[in-house]
Amino acid sequence: MNTIITKDGVEIFYKDWGKGQPIVFSHGWPLSADDWDTQMLFFLKHGYRVIAHDRRGHGRSTQVGGGHDMDHYADDLAALTAHLNLKGAVHVGHSTGGGEVVHYLARHGESRVAKAVIISAVPPLMVQTAANPGGLPKEVFDGLQAQIATNRAQFYYDSRQDRSMAITDGCETLSGCDLELVAPRDDGWSQGAL
């Protein structure tokens, strides 16, 4: 299993397939590197080196209670790109992964980056604060995390069954939310937003 250890001791799992110009995929919340497999196989077949990691607290990476902010996500991505000595990489980020890529570029520069593809990216700060009054109340995120902690499989099942769920103010349960889900297309890419 391919892993790196970040400076704060978090083990980050990653996939690294092929040779050629690197394409680095950053997944959305609460997904994992596995959600990029179709795209990775497509680009691998076309001569690219494809890389995807499980963000801290996701998939096979260390399940930590802290460090779930864009600074840590960007630093973890920087540690991975440095470890793999990537140059001229294309970074593709979806949802939270899009925010991660943008924050990585802002925090660590573009010296290792050729291009960035941002798909339905979240802003760096989604929670409502005094400085971000247009954000969502923290209770919304607490509710989603509680559902995942209670029964992750049921959360995923419900999210696939209800194609009209979204995070809205005061959303207490997943089925009461109104969230546009990502739907696979024939060409292997996805449409929609989380």
The pTM is what?
Answer: 0.69
Of the segments 19-28, 148-157, 168-177, which one has the largest average pLDDT value?
Answer: 19-28
Nearest residue to 16 (alpha-carbon basis) of 5, 1, 35: 1
Pairwise pLDDT comparison (162 vs 21), residue with the higher score: 21
* Confidence class for position 173, pLDDT limits 50, 70, 90: very low
Give the mean pLDDT of 173-194. 37
Q: Tens of pLDDT along 93-149?
A: 999 999 999 999 999 999 999 999 999 887 666 778 888 888 888 888 888 888 888
Rounded CA-CA distance 68/142 in Å is: 13
Residue pointed to by tokens 């083990």: 11
Per residue in 45-78, pLDDT (tens digit) is 999 999 999 999 999 999 998 899 989 999 999 9
The number of beta carbons lying within 10 Å of the beta carbon of residue 17 is 14
Contact 102, 116 (CB under 8 A): yes
Q: What integer pLDDT is reported at residue 181 of this predicted model?
A: 31
Q: How many CB atoms sit inside 10 A of residue 191's CB?
A: 12
Q: What is the mean pLDDT of residues 10-27?
A: 98
Whether the per-residue pLDDT at 81 is higher than 50: the answer is: yes
> Which pLDDT score, from 0 to 100, does residue 158 have?
78
pLDDT mean across residues, the chain: 82
